[in-house]
């Protein structure tokens, strides 16, 4: 159903990348299926044991910058994570209506910024396969600040760099933890993504308004 949004009250749109603009299936497939196979082969263990070892390692870093850092996981797992990601880059894809939405934002003359926790090398892989940079004023990775979006310091750095008005900014993300952080910082308009991974079922993003498709907020003016 359509989401009520007053575009006249919004100047800046901050958008997450994975699970928001792009289908999260690429990332989930890599970390939950492809990487466990590579880690199992390297360490001569079965994939179930590999998944258990990796899950423990991932859980220990969740919400921290290391969780998103390819350099960290390359060292921690002794695997070339970038090369492995490139092996399945054909799976990188837009979420439905994402390009139409980006074009719409440009047409109604909003300032559009990408704000992602993705490592810069991941961003490069995604850009090579989707070419969405043309729709954004800036592409910002949390690794530039050394702080993930889950921390207040990220938003302080982002506002200092971009000079946006929190009260006239919309932020869309697929993570409740990140939306909570943005809300704490004072971002006025917040929306979550109902189905970030096209291969998984929709989920609730309460207490935030939820988008099932970008067309819900592409009002004809």
**CB distance 108 to 221 below 8 Å:** yes
Q: What is the pLDDT of residues 149-160, one digit of tens each?
A: 999 999 999 999
Residue 142 CB neighbour total at 10 angstroms: 24
How far is the CA of 8 from the CAs of 12, 74, 101, 168, 190, in angstroms? 11, 45, 17, 9, 16
pLDDT of 201-214, one tens digit each?
999 999 999 999 99
Please answer whether residues 171 and 192 qualify as being in contact, where contact means their C-beta atoms are separated by less than 8 angstroms.
no
Question: Residue 46 and residue 197: Cα distance in Å, rounded?
Answer: 26
Tens of pLDDT, residue by residue, the chain (221 residues): 446 789 999 999 999 999 999 999 999 999 999 999 999 999 999 999 999 999 999 999 987 888 889 999 999 999 999 999 999 999 999 999 999 999 999 999 999 999 999 999 999 999 988 989 999 999 999 999 999 999 999 999 999 999 999 999 999 999 999 999 999 999 999 999 999 999 999 999 999 999 999 999 987 54
- Which residues, 6+ apart, have CB-to-CB distance to 58 below 8 Å? 31, 67
For residue 62, the model assigns a pLDDT of 86
Sign of CA dihedral 91, 119, 188, 175: positive
Question: Which overall architecture, per CATH, does domain 7-24+92-217 show?
Answer: 3-Layer(aba) Sandwich (3.40)
Question: Would you list the domain boundaries of the chain?
Answer: 7-24+92-217, 26-90
pLDDT for the residue 1 = 44
180: its two tokens: 């909570």
CA distance 39 to 36: 5
Q: What is the pLDDT of residue 95?
A: 96
Taking every pair of C-alpha atoms in the chain, what is the biggest distance, in angstroms?
60
| pLDDT at site 221 | 45
Q: What are the distances in angstroms from CA 132 to CA 41, 42, 179?
A: 35, 35, 23
The single-letter DSSP state of residue 131 is: -
User: What SS3 class is residue 196?
Assistant: coil
**Cα–Cα distance for residue pair 37/130, rounded to 1 Å:** 26
């Amino acid at each position: 159903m359509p989401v009520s949004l007053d575009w006249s009250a919004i100047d800046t749109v901050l958008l997450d990348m994975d699970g928001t603009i792009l289908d999260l299936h690429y990332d989930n497939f890599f970390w939950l299926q492809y990487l466990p196979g590579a880690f199992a082969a390297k360490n001569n263990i079965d994939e179930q044991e590999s998944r258990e070892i990796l899950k423990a390692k991932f859980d220990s870093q969740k919400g921290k910058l290391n969780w998103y850092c390819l350099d960290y996981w390359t060292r921690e797992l002794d695997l070339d994570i970038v090369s492995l990601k490139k092996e399945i880059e054909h799976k990188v894809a837009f979420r439905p209506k994402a390009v139409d939405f980006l074009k719409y934002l440009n047409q109604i003359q909003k300032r559009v910024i990408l704000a992602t926790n993705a490592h810069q090398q991941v961003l490069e892989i995604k850009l090579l396969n989707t070419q969405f940079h043309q729709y954004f004023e800036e592409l910002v990775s949390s690794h530039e600040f050394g702080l993930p979006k889950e921390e207040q310091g990220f938003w302080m750095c982002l506002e200092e760099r971009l000079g946006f008005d929190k009260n006239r900014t919309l932020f869309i993300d697929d993570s409740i933890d990140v939306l909570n952080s943005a809300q704490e910082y004072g971002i006025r308009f917040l929306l979550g993504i109902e189905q970030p991974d096209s291969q998984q079922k929709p989920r609730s993003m309460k207490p935030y308004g939820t988008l099932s498709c970008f067309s819900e907020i592409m009002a004809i003016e």
